[in-house]
Amino acid sequence: MLLAVATLAQPPLTTIQDVIYKADGTRFNGQLTISWSSFEAADQSAIATQMLTVKVMDGALRVKLVPNTTATPQSYYAVVYNSDGKVQFSETWAVPPSTQPLRVRDVRVATPTETTQTSAPTQESNVVGLVADLGARPVKATGFAAGRIAFVNSQNQIDSVTGNTTDCVHVDGSSGPCSSAPSFVDADAPTGVVDGANTSFSLTGTPDPAGSLAIYRNGLLQKLGVDYTLSGRTIQFGATAAPQPGDTLLAAYRLGGVSAGTPSLYPSPQVVCGGSGATVSSLNFSSLGTCVVPAGLVTAGDRVEIRFDLEHQGVTGYTFEALWGSTSVLNRDATAADLFVTARVDAILTDSNARFATQSWGSTLPLAATMATASDAYTSGLTIDFQGKVAQAGETLVLRNFTVVRLP
């Protein structure tokens, strides 16, 4: 009768039976250490905290355990695999009630997340330094709005800049219309009598800044302070530099529009390219040398000076030209007597195009001054190409040197 009572008191068991292999295909040999915390089984049997060691020979595993998926409180079996005198790995089992043997995969579960008891909310004042840190951070101002530029106002609050979408923002968070873009005057003909005696001429507009003025007399650039002086719109030539009858005067300058405080990306003059070029003997135009102006280097209001010198060997003539992008801004024919020629090109950049004042001459080639316009886009980069061709095979044309200078 005592044996019968003991048998009836035993909690139900579930058999876990499987064959365990190692990754190399051989069977696992070692032991499993199975531990658990106390719980109450489904039949109200009290299961004490304990552990169990099960030997695994040639991969064969067989063990009986009390189901813990129906336990109170929720419980898991911690299983540690030992082999070769060390712990190999561990896993967690949740064993359900079953009259049929189960495999390891049927009871293996991910490591359960420990649950914590919810406590009362922590007060900000109970966290050391939290109140001070919160007080030191900027907070939203009443004017804070999404989709606007943010700035920190005088109360150390994050505010939003107000104004039109086309306005410019100042460092103090205020906004207003942006400075207007500069405008340019090109090929302005100064008014005044050209008789060799008159030295005073007037411009159509007032150069702003004054240093942007470029005066060309017969295509030759005059130097401020040496050949002439400027006062407002009035040009005053020196007595020895007075324009003579038949002379041509042309002026190019910038008008006001950009505030003195507007920064320039490249405020100093720069040599963009320079050096010697190639030799050509072609009867068709061929490149003697190129200069690549990088994207973003030149902007509206800049001036680009281009200078180059050519040397010819042969008994017939030749032709040379300068290309601004795909536009020819200078093209001249020379004779065999012109062993050397030289050329100057001044480019004035506007928002929409570039305007050019050119001059060229040679050993016998007379001085010529021209004006040209090119609409090639320059903001994304542009190539200046020096080209030439000879009139007879066997002759040569050499680009001895060239220089491209950017002036702000």
List the structure tokens of 185.
């005057």
Same domain, 169 and 191: no
Same domain, 284 and 378: yes
Are 215 and 249 within 8 A, CB to CB? yes
Is 105 part of any domain? Answer: yes
Is 337 part of any domain? Answer: yes
For residue 171, give its domain range.
133-176
Same domain, 294 and 206: no
Give pLDDT, residue 308: 96
Number of Cβ atoms within 10 Å of the Cβ of 285: 17
Which CATH number does the domain housing residue 393 bear? 2.60.120
pLDDT in tens, 297-336: 888 888 999 999 999 999 999 999 999 999 999 999 999 9
Same domain, 335 and 245: no
Is 126 part of any domain? Answer: no
What is the C-alpha to C-alpha distance for residues 310 and 249, in angstroms, rounded to an integer?
27
Same domain, 153 and 201: no
% residues pLDDT > 70 (the chain): 91
pLDDT in tens, 237-266: 998 899 999 898 999 988 765 444 444 555
Same domain, 283 and 355: yes
E-assigned strands of 161-317? 168-169, 175-176, 184-188, 200-202, 214-217, 220-221, 228-231, 234-237, 249-254, 270-275, 279-280, 286-293, 303-313
Same domain, 190 and 213: yes
User: Quick one: pLDDT band at residue 9, thresholds 50, 70, 90?
Assistant: low
Is 287 part of any domain? Answer: yes
Same domain, 276 and 373: yes
Q: Which residues of 171-204 are buried (b: 16+ CB within 10 A; e: fewer)?
A: eebebeeeeeebbbbbebebebebeeeebebebe
Are 345 and 221 within 8 A, CB to CB? no
Q: Residue 241 is which amino acid? A: A
Mean pLDDT of 51-59: 93
Look at the chain and report how many structural domains it folds into. Answer: 4
Q: CA 263, 267, 273 angle in degrees (round to 5)?
A: 140
Mean pLDDT of 187-215: 89
Q: Decide which of 109, 124, 142 is a domain's last residue.
A: 109
Q: What is the pTM of this model?
A: 0.40
Give pLDDT, residue 250: 92
Same domain, 396 and 283: yes
* Average per-residue pLDDT for the chain: 87
Mean pLDDT of 36-42: 92
Is 4 part of any domain? Answer: no
Is 311 part of any domain? Answer: yes
Same domain, 160 and 208: no
Whether the ω angle into residue 73 lies within 30 degrees of 0, i.e. cis, is yes
What is the C-alpha to C-alpha distance for residues 309 and 328, in angstroms, rounded to an integer?
17
CA quadruple 200, 201, 205, 211: dihedral sign: negative
Q: Could you tell me which residue, 142 or 30, shows the higher pLDDT?
A: 30
Is 152 part of any domain? Answer: yes
Q: Which ranges of 91-176 would DSSP assign to H, the alpha helix?
A: 104-107, 130-136
Is 365 part of any domain? Answer: yes
User: Quick one: pLDDT band at residue 117, thresholds 50, 70, 90?
Assistant: very low
Give pLDDT, residue 258: 46
Same domain, 101 and 139: no
Helix/strand/coil (H, E, C) string of 329-369? EEEEEECCCCCEEEEEEEEEECCCCEEEEEEEEECCCCCEE
Same domain, 289 and 344: yes
| Residue whose entry in the numeric block shows the structure tokens 């300068």 | 322
Q: Which ranges of 45-175 would DSSP assign to H, the alpha helix?
A: 104-107, 130-136
Q: Which residues of 213-251 are buried (b: 16+ CB within 10 A; e: fewer)?
A: bbbbbebeebeeeebbebeeeebebeeeebbeeeeebbb
